A and B are shown apart, each in its own frame.
Chain A
Amino acid sequence: MESLTFRHTTEKPLGGTAPSAITGVVASGNLEILLERVLPPDACEVAIETPIAGYGPVWEAVVADFVARAQPGGLRISINDGGARPDTVSLRLLQGARLMEA
Protein backbone atom coordinates (compact mmCIF):
# COMPACT_ATOMS: atom_id res chain seq x y z
CA MET A 1 0.00 0.00 0.00
CA GLU A 2 1.20 3.48 -0.77
CA SER A 3 0.10 6.53 1.23
CA LEU A 4 -0.04 9.95 -0.36
CA THR A 5 -1.11 13.26 1.15
CA PHE A 6 -1.66 16.54 -0.69
CA ARG A 7 -2.36 19.85 1.02
CA HIS A 8 -3.81 22.83 -0.81
CA THR A 9 -4.87 26.36 0.02
CA THR A 10 -8.16 27.34 -1.57
CA GLU A 11 -9.53 30.76 -2.45
CA LYS A 12 -12.81 30.07 -0.70
CA PRO A 13 -14.58 27.50 1.45
CA LEU A 14 -16.86 24.90 -0.09
CA GLY A 15 -20.52 25.89 0.16
CA GLY A 16 -23.15 23.89 2.01
CA THR A 17 -23.31 22.65 5.56
CA ALA A 18 -23.06 18.87 5.39
CA PRO A 19 -20.46 17.86 7.99
CA SER A 20 -19.43 14.73 6.13
CA ALA A 21 -20.23 12.54 3.15
CA ILE A 22 -19.01 9.34 1.56
CA THR A 23 -19.21 8.16 -2.01
CA GLY A 24 -18.01 5.17 -3.97
CA VAL A 25 -17.05 1.67 -2.93
CA VAL A 26 -13.64 0.08 -2.52
CA ALA A 27 -13.71 -2.42 -5.35
CA SER A 28 -11.47 -3.24 -8.27
CA GLY A 29 -11.23 -0.11 -10.41
CA ASN A 30 -13.26 1.90 -7.94
CA LEU A 31 -12.62 3.82 -4.74
CA GLU A 32 -14.35 5.38 -1.78
CA ILE A 33 -14.02 9.00 -0.81
CA LEU A 34 -14.79 10.33 2.64
CA LEU A 35 -15.20 14.08 2.96
CA GLU A 36 -15.23 15.87 6.31
CA ARG A 37 -15.63 19.59 6.99
CA VAL A 38 -13.02 19.80 9.72
CA LEU A 39 -10.27 22.11 8.39
CA PRO A 40 -9.90 25.90 8.28
CA PRO A 41 -12.06 27.35 5.47
CA ASP A 42 -9.11 27.97 3.15
CA ALA A 43 -7.47 24.56 3.60
CA CYS A 44 -7.99 21.26 1.89
CA GLU A 45 -6.17 18.03 2.53
CA VAL A 46 -6.44 14.90 0.47
CA ALA A 47 -5.03 11.66 1.89
CA ILE A 48 -4.89 8.58 -0.29
CA GLU A 49 -4.27 4.90 0.44
CA THR A 50 -3.68 3.00 -2.78
CA PRO A 51 -2.56 -0.55 -3.53
CA ILE A 52 -0.99 0.56 -6.80
CA ALA A 53 2.37 2.20 -6.28
CA GLY A 54 4.03 4.69 -8.56
CA TYR A 55 1.13 6.89 -9.58
CA GLY A 56 1.98 9.82 -7.30
CA PRO A 57 2.29 12.37 -10.11
CA VAL A 58 -1.06 11.31 -11.57
CA TRP A 59 -2.79 11.63 -8.18
CA GLU A 60 -1.13 15.00 -7.69
CA ALA A 61 -2.49 16.25 -11.00
CA VAL A 62 -5.98 14.87 -10.42
CA VAL A 63 -6.19 16.40 -6.95
CA ALA A 64 -4.81 19.77 -8.13
CA ASP A 65 -7.38 19.98 -10.92
CA PHE A 66 -10.17 19.06 -8.54
CA VAL A 67 -9.11 21.66 -5.99
CA ALA A 68 -8.86 24.35 -8.65
CA ARG A 69 -12.29 23.47 -9.96
CA ALA A 70 -14.29 22.76 -6.80
CA GLN A 71 -12.52 25.05 -4.29
CA PRO A 72 -13.13 22.52 -1.50
CA GLY A 73 -11.96 24.80 1.34
CA GLY A 74 -12.45 23.31 4.80
CA LEU A 75 -12.47 19.69 3.68
CA ARG A 76 -10.36 16.80 4.76
CA ILE A 77 -10.75 14.20 2.04
CA SER A 78 -9.73 10.60 2.66
CA ILE A 79 -9.53 8.08 -0.14
CA ASN A 80 -9.42 4.30 -0.02
CA ASP A 81 -8.43 3.35 -3.53
CA GLY A 82 -9.13 0.04 -5.20
CA GLY A 83 -7.08 0.80 -8.31
CA ALA A 84 -9.43 3.37 -9.84
CA ARG A 85 -8.58 5.14 -13.06
CA PRO A 86 -7.95 8.87 -12.80
CA ASP A 87 -11.23 9.75 -14.49
CA THR A 88 -13.13 7.70 -11.92
CA VAL A 89 -11.23 9.49 -9.17
CA SER A 90 -12.18 12.88 -10.63
CA LEU A 91 -15.81 11.86 -10.94
CA ARG A 92 -16.00 10.60 -7.36
CA LEU A 93 -14.30 13.75 -6.03
CA LEU A 94 -16.87 15.90 -7.81
CA GLN A 95 -19.70 13.67 -6.58
CA GLY A 96 -18.38 14.02 -3.06
CA ALA A 97 -18.15 17.81 -3.31
CA ARG A 98 -21.72 17.95 -4.56
CA LEU A 99 -22.89 15.91 -1.57
CA MET A 100 -21.12 18.28 0.79
CA GLU A 101 -22.76 21.27 -0.88
CA ALA A 102 -26.22 19.84 -0.21
Chain B
Amino acid sequence: MTLAEILASLFPEGHAVRVADGLVTGRAPFDGAEAAVIGIDGDTPLGVEGALALSRAVLDAVRAGDRVPILVLVDSDSQRMSRRDELLGLNECLAHLAKALLLADRAGHPTVGLIYGHAAAGAFIATALATRVLAALPGANPSVMDLPSVARVTKLPLERLEEMAKSTPVFAPGLDNMVATGAVHAVLDPARPLDAQVRDLIAGLPAEDVRDRLGAERGGRPVAQAVAAAVAAEARRG
Protein backbone atom coordinates (compact mmCIF):
# COMPACT_ATOMS: atom_id res chain seq x y z
CA MET B 1 0.00 0.00 0.00
CA THR B 2 1.16 3.54 -0.62
CA LEU B 3 1.17 6.14 2.10
CA ALA B 4 -1.82 7.86 0.51
CA GLU B 5 -3.79 4.61 0.48
CA ILE B 6 -2.84 3.92 4.07
CA LEU B 7 -3.87 7.38 5.20
CA ALA B 8 -7.15 7.10 3.35
CA SER B 9 -7.89 3.76 4.97
CA LEU B 10 -6.84 4.95 8.41
CA PHE B 11 -8.73 8.21 8.25
CA PRO B 12 -11.85 7.81 6.12
CA GLU B 13 -13.06 11.22 7.31
CA GLY B 14 -10.00 12.90 5.80
CA HIS B 15 -6.77 14.10 7.37
CA ALA B 16 -4.25 16.91 7.62
CA VAL B 17 -1.15 14.78 7.26
CA ARG B 18 1.66 16.26 5.16
CA VAL B 19 4.81 14.81 3.67
CA ALA B 20 7.84 17.04 3.26
CA ASP B 21 11.31 15.77 2.43
CA GLY B 22 10.12 12.28 3.23
CA LEU B 23 8.96 13.30 6.71
CA VAL B 24 5.35 12.65 7.63
CA THR B 25 3.55 14.82 10.24
CA GLY B 26 -0.01 15.89 10.96
CA ARG B 27 -3.24 15.12 12.69
CA ALA B 28 -6.45 13.48 11.66
CA PRO B 29 -9.85 12.64 13.05
CA PHE B 30 -9.71 9.13 14.46
CA ASP B 31 -12.05 6.97 16.47
CA GLY B 32 -14.30 9.83 17.47
CA ALA B 33 -11.39 12.02 18.48
CA GLU B 34 -8.04 12.77 16.90
CA ALA B 35 -4.78 11.02 16.23
CA ALA B 36 -1.31 12.47 15.76
CA VAL B 37 0.75 11.07 12.92
CA ILE B 38 4.47 11.07 12.37
CA GLY B 39 6.51 8.99 9.99
CA ILE B 40 9.01 8.56 7.23
CA ASP B 41 8.01 7.87 3.65
CA GLY B 42 9.73 6.90 0.43
CA ASP B 43 12.64 4.89 1.80
CA THR B 44 14.12 8.12 3.18
CA PRO B 45 17.15 8.00 5.46
CA LEU B 46 16.72 9.67 8.84
CA GLY B 47 19.26 12.37 9.74
CA VAL B 48 19.56 14.88 12.54
CA GLU B 49 17.05 17.39 11.16
CA GLY B 50 14.46 14.74 10.37
CA ALA B 51 14.73 13.17 13.80
CA LEU B 52 14.25 16.52 15.52
CA ALA B 53 11.32 17.47 13.30
CA LEU B 54 9.54 14.26 14.25
CA SER B 55 10.40 14.54 17.94
CA ARG B 56 9.07 18.12 17.87
CA ALA B 57 5.74 16.80 16.63
CA VAL B 58 5.63 14.12 19.31
CA LEU B 59 6.46 16.53 22.11
CA ASP B 60 3.79 18.92 20.84
CA ALA B 61 1.26 16.12 21.16
CA VAL B 62 2.42 15.36 24.69
CA ARG B 63 2.24 18.99 25.66
CA ALA B 64 -1.31 19.22 24.35
CA GLY B 65 -2.19 16.77 27.09
CA ASP B 66 -5.04 15.16 25.15
CA ARG B 67 -3.62 11.62 25.18
CA VAL B 68 -4.50 11.06 21.52
CA PRO B 69 -3.04 8.02 19.82
CA ILE B 70 0.26 8.63 18.07
CA LEU B 71 0.67 6.64 14.86
CA VAL B 72 4.17 6.14 13.51
CA LEU B 73 4.16 5.23 9.81
CA VAL B 74 7.46 4.03 8.44
CA ASP B 75 8.92 3.35 5.04
CA SER B 76 12.48 4.46 5.71
CA ASP B 77 16.02 3.72 4.80
CA SER B 78 18.50 3.38 7.66
CA GLN B 79 19.89 6.35 9.55
CA ARG B 80 21.51 8.87 7.23
CA MET B 81 25.12 7.83 6.90
CA SER B 82 27.27 10.91 6.78
CA ARG B 83 30.13 12.61 8.46
CA ARG B 84 27.99 15.66 9.22
CA ASP B 85 25.21 13.74 10.94
CA GLU B 86 27.67 11.97 13.21
CA LEU B 87 29.55 15.19 13.87
CA LEU B 88 26.31 16.78 15.07
CA GLY B 89 25.40 13.87 17.32
CA LEU B 90 23.00 11.70 15.34
CA ASN B 91 22.89 9.21 18.21
CA GLU B 92 21.49 11.89 20.50
CA CYS B 93 18.91 13.00 17.94
CA LEU B 94 17.67 9.47 17.19
CA ALA B 95 17.61 8.57 20.89
CA HIS B 96 15.76 11.80 21.59
CA LEU B 97 13.06 10.86 19.08
CA ALA B 98 12.69 7.43 20.65
CA LYS B 99 12.58 8.97 24.12
CA ALA B 100 9.87 11.39 22.99
CA LEU B 101 7.74 8.43 21.85
CA LEU B 102 8.44 6.55 25.09
CA LEU B 103 7.54 9.64 27.10
CA ALA B 104 4.31 10.03 25.14
CA ASP B 105 3.53 6.39 25.87
CA ARG B 106 4.07 7.00 29.60
CA ALA B 107 1.93 10.13 29.37
CA GLY B 108 -1.00 8.05 28.20
CA HIS B 109 -0.75 8.30 24.44
CA PRO B 110 -1.26 4.95 22.76
CA THR B 111 1.74 4.66 20.44
CA VAL B 112 1.31 2.45 17.40
CA GLY B 113 3.90 1.78 14.75
CA LEU B 114 3.02 0.74 11.23
CA ILE B 115 5.72 -0.30 8.79
CA TYR B 116 4.69 -0.52 5.17
CA GLY B 117 7.94 -0.40 3.20
CA HIS B 118 11.57 -0.54 4.12
CA ALA B 119 12.77 0.08 7.66
CA ALA B 120 16.32 -0.36 8.79
CA ALA B 121 18.81 0.09 11.58
CA GLY B 122 18.88 3.40 13.49
CA ALA B 123 15.85 4.88 11.73
CA PHE B 124 13.81 1.80 12.62
CA ILE B 125 14.90 1.78 16.26
CA ALA B 126 14.19 5.49 16.72
CA THR B 127 10.68 5.31 15.27
CA ALA B 128 8.58 2.20 14.83
CA LEU B 129 10.49 0.10 17.35
CA ALA B 130 9.94 2.77 20.03
CA THR B 131 6.14 2.34 19.97
CA ARG B 132 4.11 0.21 22.37
CA VAL B 133 2.73 -1.93 19.59
CA LEU B 134 4.17 -2.40 16.12
CA ALA B 135 2.14 -3.59 13.17
CA ALA B 136 3.12 -4.17 9.58
CA LEU B 137 1.48 -4.35 6.21
CA PRO B 138 2.31 -7.26 3.93
CA GLY B 139 5.22 -6.34 1.72
CA ALA B 140 6.97 -4.40 4.45
CA ASN B 141 10.65 -5.18 4.46
CA PRO B 142 12.35 -4.45 7.76
CA SER B 143 16.03 -5.31 7.76
CA VAL B 144 19.23 -4.68 9.61
CA MET B 145 21.33 -5.52 6.59
CA ASP B 146 20.56 -7.19 3.28
CA LEU B 147 21.87 -10.70 2.69
CA PRO B 148 24.54 -9.77 0.11
CA SER B 149 26.02 -7.36 2.64
CA VAL B 150 25.80 -10.00 5.35
CA ALA B 151 27.62 -12.37 3.02
CA ARG B 152 30.35 -9.81 2.49
CA VAL B 153 30.86 -9.16 6.19
CA THR B 154 30.60 -12.75 7.39
CA LYS B 155 32.55 -14.08 4.38
CA LEU B 156 29.94 -16.79 3.93
CA PRO B 157 28.57 -17.68 0.49
CA LEU B 158 25.25 -16.02 -0.32
CA GLU B 159 23.61 -19.34 -1.27
CA ARG B 160 24.50 -20.77 2.11
CA LEU B 161 23.07 -17.72 3.90
CA GLU B 162 19.88 -18.00 1.87
CA GLU B 163 19.59 -21.62 2.91
CA MET B 164 20.28 -20.77 6.56
CA ALA B 165 17.74 -17.93 6.46
CA LYS B 166 14.96 -20.46 5.84
CA SER B 167 15.46 -22.13 9.20
CA THR B 168 17.01 -19.32 11.24
CA PRO B 169 14.87 -16.18 11.42
CA VAL B 170 17.25 -14.53 13.87
CA PHE B 171 19.55 -13.00 11.29
CA ALA B 172 17.76 -12.79 7.97
CA PRO B 173 16.03 -9.67 6.68
CA GLY B 174 12.31 -9.60 5.97
CA LEU B 175 8.97 -9.14 7.63
CA ASP B 176 8.38 -12.78 8.52
CA ASN B 177 11.61 -12.87 10.47
CA MET B 178 10.86 -9.66 12.36
CA VAL B 179 7.45 -11.06 13.23
CA ALA B 180 9.05 -14.26 14.48
CA THR B 181 11.48 -12.24 16.59
CA GLY B 182 8.53 -10.57 18.29
CA ALA B 183 9.47 -7.07 17.20
CA VAL B 184 6.40 -6.85 14.97
CA HIS B 185 3.29 -7.70 16.95
CA ALA B 186 0.82 -8.11 14.13
CA VAL B 187 0.45 -8.04 10.36
CA LEU B 188 -2.62 -6.11 9.21
CA ASP B 189 -4.97 -7.11 6.41
CA PRO B 190 -4.80 -4.50 3.64
CA ALA B 191 -8.13 -5.69 2.28
CA ARG B 192 -9.92 -4.52 5.39
CA PRO B 193 -10.21 -0.92 6.63
CA LEU B 194 -7.12 -0.05 8.62
CA ASP B 195 -8.86 2.24 11.07
CA ALA B 196 -10.74 -0.62 12.69
CA GLN B 197 -7.65 -2.80 12.81
CA VAL B 198 -5.63 -0.06 14.49
CA ARG B 199 -8.49 0.60 16.91
CA ASP B 200 -8.33 -3.07 17.88
CA LEU B 201 -4.60 -2.83 18.42
CA ILE B 202 -5.07 0.16 20.70
CA ALA B 203 -7.84 -1.60 22.60
CA GLY B 204 -5.52 -4.52 23.19
CA LEU B 205 -2.32 -2.64 23.96
CA PRO B 206 -0.05 -4.88 25.99
CA ALA B 207 0.55 -3.59 29.50
CA GLU B 208 4.28 -4.12 29.20
CA ASP B 209 6.96 -5.03 26.73
CA VAL B 210 5.96 -8.48 25.44
CA ARG B 211 8.33 -8.71 22.53
CA ASP B 212 10.58 -11.35 24.04
CA ARG B 213 7.55 -13.46 24.97
CA LEU B 214 6.31 -13.23 21.38
CA GLY B 215 9.79 -14.10 20.14
CA ALA B 216 9.79 -17.24 22.26
CA GLU B 217 6.26 -18.25 21.20
CA ARG B 218 6.97 -17.66 17.54
CA GLY B 219 10.40 -19.25 17.62
CA GLY B 220 12.33 -16.25 16.29
CA ARG B 221 14.12 -15.64 19.55
CA PRO B 222 14.25 -19.03 21.19
CA VAL B 223 16.12 -18.10 24.37
CA ALA B 224 15.85 -14.34 25.01
CA GLN B 225 12.82 -14.46 27.27
CA ALA B 226 14.22 -17.28 29.40
CA VAL B 227 17.61 -15.59 29.73
CA ALA B 228 16.10 -12.25 30.72
CA ALA B 229 13.84 -13.98 33.23
CA ALA B 230 16.75 -15.92 34.69
CA VAL B 231 18.82 -12.75 35.17
CA ALA B 232 15.89 -10.92 36.73
CA ALA B 233 15.16 -13.85 39.04
CA GLU B 234 18.76 -14.01 40.23
CA ALA B 235 18.79 -10.26 40.79
CA ARG B 236 15.59 -10.38 42.82
CA ARG B 237 16.91 -13.22 44.96
CA GLY B 238 19.30 -10.59 46.31
| Contact, chains A and B (beta carbon distance below 8 A) | no
| Chain A residues within CB distance 8 Å of chain B | none
B contact set with A: CB distance below 8 Å = none
